[in-house]
Amino acid sequence: MVMRHAFVGKPAAAGIAVQPITGAADIVFVALFMCVAERLGLSVRRAAIGMFAGLAVGLAAASAFGGLPGLPFIAGGFVIAHWRAVRPGREEIVKTAVFVAAMVAIFVIVGLI
């Protein structure tokens, strides 16, 4: 019973079950990242806009490829929103690009299976 209320569902046509699109963990991580932004002196408004934009991209990708976790998109939106404050070096950019490429490859492979 509790699990039915722990997710945000999208409306469904008659006779089709409601599918969860955002879980409780996604909401918890959004709150966590907002607290981190406040604690580090970053813009909370920019963090919220970045995370919700990332979540929107994640939901669009999930609609296209099937179920995907929202956390990488939320975290990506947070980092992109504070890109200048983070000031990553060349090594961090390369590592991040490799990680993102690997995650995209995994999502594509899982989507094809």
Boundaries of every domain in the chain? 2-88
Q: What is the mean pLDDT of residues 3-15?
A: 56
Place of tokens 């989507």: 111
Q: What is the pLDDT of residues 45-101, one digit of tens each?
A: 999 999 999 988 888 887 777 777 888 889 999 989 998 887 778 998 899 899 989
Q: How many CB atoms lie within 10 A of CB 70?
A: 23
Quick: pLDDT tens for 16-34: 665 566 778 888 889 999 9
How confident is the model at residue 2, as a pLDDT?
Answer: 44
Please report which residue ranges of the chain form alpha helices under DSSP H. Answer: 2-5, 24-39, 44-65, 71-81, 83-86, 90-112
- pLDDT per residue as tens digits for the range 99-113: 989 999 998 898 888
